[in-house]
Amino acid sequence: SSELTQDPAVSVALGQTVRITCQGDSLRSYYASWYQQKPGQAPVLVIYGKNNRPSGIPDRFSGSSSGNTASLTITGAQAEDEADYYCNSRDSSGNRVVFGGGTKLTVL
Amino acid sequence: QVQLQQWGAGLLKPSETLSLTCAVYGGSFSGYYWSWIRQPPGKGLEWIGEINHSGSTNYNPSLKSRVTISVDTSKNQFSLKLSSVTAADTAVYYCARGRGGSYPGYYYYYMDVWGKGTTVTVSS
């Protein structure tokens, strides 16, 4: 079982805004990082730290955090954003790495 | 541009030992966490463990009794061994580079470079 909890599936209409959430005790002290994974591919980092995007990640991706909940927001979702999204941090002790169970995003 | 290239046996029989290696090209080996992650078919990501350049390790408690992660800094490589495999260990295995640090009042951790993955099947 994951120590980070995500909704299994979320859908969004093309061009609309969607928020994917991740809950866990460790998020009170760790910023979540977020990964996009398309079928048959390795995960790709899309958000890290307070709200940072690696080079090449569109600015429609953003991150935020409040209490024990982290959020990934896609503003103006595109068809190519349809993928699985995973949150990640270390656990509260700092000794382990944890992943959320993943959220399957469907763009309608 | 840092790249991770991974390799290892893709088909194992139950009770055998899984062995994978990940080589780091184009970047420093020190100052990072080097992780192994796996993904069973149709399921989510599971962290297996990590090592740093000095050989300090952390493991997922659920796998700790069967896992060994080692490092060869002379070759910029790190390796995974998972003993006594069963069908439940069938998965795509990834290596990844982890980075951590802190802001005032908060920590951060992320994996910014990933290998392409190796499919490992355990079957008699």
Task: For residue A74, give Cα distances in angstroms to A60, B41, B102, B107.
Answer: 5, 27, 25, 24
Section B99-114 average pLDDT: 94
Section A15-24 average pLDDT: 98
DSSP-derived 3-state class of residue B3: strand
pLDDT of residue B29: 87
| pLDDT band at residue A2 under the 50/70/90 scheme | low
Q: Angle at Cα A85 formed by Cα A68 and Cα A39, nearest 5°? A: 160
Q: Which of B5, B20, B50, B4 is nearest to B120 (CA)?
A: B20
Is A2 at the interface with chain B, CB within 8 A? yes
Tell if the CB–CB gap between A35 and B117 is shorter than 8 Å.
no
Section B13-25 average pLDDT: 97
pLDDT of residue B103: 86
pLDDT, tens digit (0-9, with 9 covering 90-100), for A65-107: 999 999 999 999 999 999 999 999 999 999 999 999 999 999 9
pLDDT, tens digit (0-9, with 9 covering 90-100), for B57-81: 999 999 999 999 999 999 999 999 9
| pLDDT(A1) > 70 | no
Residue of A nearest to B93 (CA): A42
| Residue A93 CB burial class (10 angstroms; 0-12, 13-18, ≥19) | exposed
Paired tokens of A10 = 């979320």
Question: For residue A8, how many other CB atoms are within 10 A of its CB?
Answer: 10
- Asked if residues A1 and A96 have their Cβ atoms less than 8 Å apart, the reply is no
Tell if the CB–CB gap between A35 and B116 is shorter than 8 Å.
no
Across all residues in chain A, what is the average pLDDT? Answer: 96
Please report the DSSP string for B68-87 in residue order.
EEEEETTTTEEEEEE-S--G
